Amino acid sequence: PPPRPAALLRWDEVPEDFVECFILSGYRRLHCSAQECLASVLQPTNETLNFWTHFIPLLLFLSRFGRLLLLRGAGYYGFASTVAYSYYLLPGLSLLDAGAMSRYVQQRLGWQLDCSLPIAAYRVLVLPVALALAVGCTAACCRSRAACCAYPFAVRTFVFAMPLSMACPIMLESLLFDLRARNPTLFVYFYRRYFWLLVAAFFNVSKIPERIQPGLFDIVGHSHQLFHIFTFLSIYDQVHYVEDGLAEFLKAPLAAPTYLGTVGYMLLLTVCLAVVVRKFLSVADLCKQD
């Protein structure tokens, strides 16, 4: 017979490390078996919707990723999403055309500038900087879980926002080259994504609505669930403009991305993140022993 649902606990019945701000009830008991954990995804705990707001978007994105792989010619490059990101981060934008940028600066400011050198430097540095940023943000997020961190939610929100700086080329193009007229689809998805991210950050930092009425939103409607939902909406819009970028890339392909510059960076990033997480878990185990 299936196990009976365990009684849910209040905030004062679980260790302090497990207590969420302004969430008073709905906590699962500790040390659940794997079967109990699986059963709990259908039980009304304060974590149930957290799971589903992860799992449902995961299924959706897997289906969208499958669609990317089926696009004509995408299989040639090995990893469609990487190609799409490379399109937006590297040579596909008007911003990264040295001739166009030089003419724009000359027309607007009257300066005679050769933009080829800084643009070439950007193309060389963008992937290493993105890699370092991803590793640094993961380390900071792990560090925010330590007891000595005074403002963990502020740190996590900063970590959440920092990688967005990698989208600066699109933002600059929208300001300098009238992206709204040239590519209205990209313009709408890009800026709507940032709106969703601002809303998600607001809920993550403010802890609204449970801060206003502690105990009322323990199971449904607390800020972490809203954070998941609006983050999902932002990534969904991002997927749309990545698909649009890939379609444009396949119409007029530039130099094919290299294995080292695509899959190689992904594998290196995976290893680095695994090392960071492993290091954090080792430190956490030592702290518990002390």
Once rounded to an integer, what is the mean pLDDT over residues 238-247? 76
The CA-to-CA distance between both ends of the chain, in Å, stands at 41
- Angular region, 286: left φ>0, alpha ψ -120 to 50, beta rest: alpha
- Range ranked top by mean pLDDT from 51-65, 89-103, 165-179: 51-65
Q: Check if the beta carbon of residue 215 is closer than 8 Å to that of residue 256.
A: no
Mean pLDDT for 14-30 is 89
Q: How far apart, in whole angstroms, are the C-alpha atoms of residue 36 and residue 135?
A: 34
Please say if the pLDDT value at position 245 is more than 50. yes
**Is residue 247 predicted with pLDDT exceeding 80?**
no
Asked if residue 222 belongs to a known ligand binding site, the reply is no
pLDDT tier at 213 (50, 70, 90 boundaries)?
very high
The pLDDT, as a whole number, for residue 93 is: 45
pTM recorded for the entire structure: 0.69
Q: Characterize 82-94 residue by residue with b for buried, 16 or more Cβ atoms within 10 angstroms of its Cβ, and e for exposed.
A: bbbbbbbbbebbb
pLDDT at 65 exceeding the cut of 80: no
Q: Which two tokens stand for residue 23?
A: 């969430």
Give the CA radius of gyration of the chain. Answer: 23
DSSP 76-145: GGS-HHHHHHHHHHTTSSGGG-HHHHHHHHHHHH------HHHHHHHHHHHHHHHHHHHHHHHHHHHHTT
Domain ranges of the chain: 11-289
More confidently predicted of 281 and 196: 196
The answer to whether 54 is annotated as binding is: no
Q: Two tokens at 187?
A: 């313009």
The CA distance from 273 to 139, in Å, is 8
Tell me how far apart the alpha carbons of residues 260 and 69 are, in angstroms, rounded to a whole number: 20
> Of the candidates 205, 226, 224, 204, which has an alpha carbon nearest to the alpha carbon of residue 26?
224
Q: Are 205 and 154 in contact (CB under 8 A)?
A: yes
What pLDDT is stored for residue 13 in this prediction?
Answer: 92
Mean pLDDT of 13-20: 87
Residue 27's SS3 state is strand
